């Protein structure tokens, strides 16, 4: 059987690949696997049932999937706290805040409305390592927990979930955002009700777009995957800053007052330099993925900050952060992790702290973003090749080594197989766009000739 869990939970076309039956069975399997350990033993000794938080983004399929997940949990003896529509980082925070045994977030993040996904958070609000996801997949084939009578779980509304999360966000702030005009694009997603409230409570003047979710328009022509409307609105209303979330609000991209994009790498550079100058960046180290631009590494090194690179995916960033006891990291896509305040990428937290740095320094977003200059980058996908033989091909390895020597310290090459498709990704950064394209196509041509199926 192919692996059910992907980079970030189980995801697919709702009601075709991700069905109510699969959601129910996943919840039952997770109930067995995620109620083991010291905390679960304490719960049982106290005579209480394990508790799980369930939240979702506003896409239409989330309604029946929430019902199926809640049924699977309650039928397994788990008390369910239904938090309704909330950002993914809010669900993670609440699991830790109330010491729930685990949490379930129903969302396909930045995907279109027809897709959906199910991701789990363990005790403490952290994403699951691969080995635990494999145990849940294995449990799908085994016997279910089937308590009866008083042993079944209850399903109740988590009435103050949103309030708890907003108070948590505001507690991380040390300055008021008074005087800043910020446009927030909620992607017609989970941030629609809560992000404008958080920024207003922090003192900002707020203009809101993408805040009318109807279950079908999530990420549609708005949010972090489509910044055109936010760019136009920031300029039209004369705002100081634009903040773009994705459907489940675990991402943040930004727009400066002139409409220029500030991506996740630039946001990390801005916040890391600030944290380091204030003695808040542990070991003067940032963890980012292999996809982050070399310009980020150059900018951080200039400030005496070390950049460590992880595999692609914010949970892998977090794993590396935990291994090294580092407290800041993220992805170019805008998943930014403040380990002192959150266990996962948090778009609201990121936006608030980016705005706070503008207040703290008196600089515009454009001035702050100038701390980093991105190197020209090109990505070539070499399709229909036997990508499983990439690592063993000596000719490809030799040319990559030769080209890396040619680039020197002013560029880099990332060559990797896709985990989901028969293709090889060739990413090259160089001092000029022409040089990057030349190197990328030379390497891609060899990969195509050597690995063609």
pLDDT in tens, 154-177: 999 999 999 999 999 999 999 999
- Where helices occur in 109-211 by DSSP H, the ranges are 130-139, 161-171, 195-201
- Fold equal for 10-162 and 172-369: yes
| Structure confidence at residue 1 (pLDDT) | 45
Active-site residue, selected from the candidate residues 61, 109, 274, 342: 109
Element (H, E) at 261: strand 261-262
Element (H, E) at 352: helix 347-361
| Structure confidence at residue 181 (pLDDT) | 98
For the chain, the distance separating the N- and C-terminal CA atoms, rounded to the nearest angstrom, is 24
| Structure confidence at residue 8 (pLDDT) | 81
Strands 241-244 and 181-185: parallel
Token pair of 246 as six digits: 């994705």
Tens digit of each residue's pLDDT (9 = 90 or more) over 281-338: 999 999 999 999 999 999 999 999 999 999 888 888 999 999 999 999 999 999 999 9
Tell me: pLDDT of 41 over 90. no
Tens digit of each residue's pLDDT (9 = 90 or more) over 265-276: 999 999 999 999
Strands 181-185 and 205-209: parallel
Q: What CA–CA distance (Å, rounded) separates 391 from 394? A: 8
Contacts of 65 (CB under 8 A, 6+ apart): 14, 18, 20, 23, 56, 106, 116, 118
Contacts of 197 (CB under 8 A, 6+ apart): 166
Tens digit of each residue's pLDDT (9 = 90 or more) over 195-239: 999 999 999 999 999 999 999 999 999 999 999 999 999 999 999
Half-sphere exposure of 143 (CA within 13 A, CB side): 3
Task: Give all strands of the β-sheet with 306-310 in edge-to-edge order.
Answer: 306-310, 285-289, 328-330, 336-338
Give the Cβ contact number of residue 260 at 10 Å.
14
**Architecture in CATH of 172-369:** 3-Layer(aba) Sandwich (3.40)
Does the structural domain 377-451 have CATH classification 3.30.310.50? yes
Q: What CA–CA distance (Å, rounded) separates 291 from 444? A: 18
Tell me: pLDDT of 380 over 80. yes
Give this prediction's pTM. Answer: 0.91
| Structure confidence at residue 48 (pLDDT) | 84
Q: What is the CATH number of domain 10-162?
A: 3.40.120.10
Task: Label residue 416 by pLDDT band (50, 70, 90).
Answer: confident
Per-residue pLDDT, averaged over 51-75, amounts to 98
Tell me: pLDDT of 434 over 90. yes
* Region of residue 408 (left: phi > 0; alpha: psi -120 to 50; beta: else): left
211 noted as active-site residue:
no
Q: Where are the domains of the chain?
A: 10-162, 172-369, 377-451
């Amino acid at each position: 059987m192919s692996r059910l869990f992907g980079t970030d939970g189980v995801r697919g076309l709702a009601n075709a690949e991700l069905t109510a039956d699969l959601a129910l069975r996943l919840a039952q399997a997770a109930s067995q696997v995620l109620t083991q350990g010291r905390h679960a033993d304490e719960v049982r000794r106290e005579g209480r049932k394990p508790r799980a938080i369930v939240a979702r983004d506003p896409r239409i399929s989330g309604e029946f999937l929430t019902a199926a997940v809640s049924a699977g949990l309650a039928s397994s003896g788990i008390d369910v706290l239904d938090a309704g529509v909330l950002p993914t980082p809010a669900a993670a925070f609440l699991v830790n805040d109330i010491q729930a045994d685990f949490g379930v977030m129903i969302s396909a993040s930045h995907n279109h409305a027809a897709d959906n996904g199910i991701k789990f958070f363990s005790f403490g609000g952290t994403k699951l390592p691969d080995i635990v996801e494999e145990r849940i997949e294995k449990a799908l084939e085994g016997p279910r927990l089937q308590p009866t009578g008083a042993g079944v779980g209850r399903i109740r509304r988590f009435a103050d979930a949103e309030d708890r999360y907003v108070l948590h966000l505001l507690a991380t702030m040390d300055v008021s955002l008074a005087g800043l005009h910020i446009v927030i694009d909620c992607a017609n997603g989970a941030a629609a009700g809560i992000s404008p409230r958080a920024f207003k409570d922090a003192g900002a003047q707020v203009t809101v777009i993408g805040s009318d979710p109807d279950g079908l328009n999530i990420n549609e022509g708005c949010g972090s995957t489509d910044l055109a409307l936010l760019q136009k609105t920031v300029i039209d209303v004369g705002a100081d800053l634009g903040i773009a979330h994705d459907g489940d609000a675990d991402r943040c991209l930004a727009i400066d007052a002139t409409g220029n994009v500030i991506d996740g790498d630039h946001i990390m550079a801005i916040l890391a330099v600030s944290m380091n100058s204030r003695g808040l960046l542990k070991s003067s180290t940032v963890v980012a993925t292999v996809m982050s631009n070399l310009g980020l590494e150059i900018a951080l090194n200039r400030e005496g900050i070390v950049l460590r690179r992880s595999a692609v995916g914010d949970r892998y960033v977090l794993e590396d952060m935990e291994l090294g006891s580092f407290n800041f990291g993220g992805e170019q896509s805008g998943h930014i992790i403040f380990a002192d305040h959150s266990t996962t990428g948090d778009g609201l937290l990121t936006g608030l702290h980016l705005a706070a740095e503008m207040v703290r320094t008196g600089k515009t977003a454009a001035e702050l973003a100038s701390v980093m200059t991105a190197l020209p980058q090109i990505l070539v996908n070499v399709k229909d090749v036997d990508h499983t033989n990439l690592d063993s091909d000596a000719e490809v390895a030799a040319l990559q080594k030769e080209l890396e020597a040619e680039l020197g310290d002013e560029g880099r090459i990332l060559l990797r197989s896709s985990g989901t498709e028969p293709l090889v990704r060739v990413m090259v950064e160089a001092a000029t766009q022409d040089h990057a394209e030349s190197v990328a196509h030379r390497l891609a041509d060899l990969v195509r000739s050597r690995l063609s199926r």
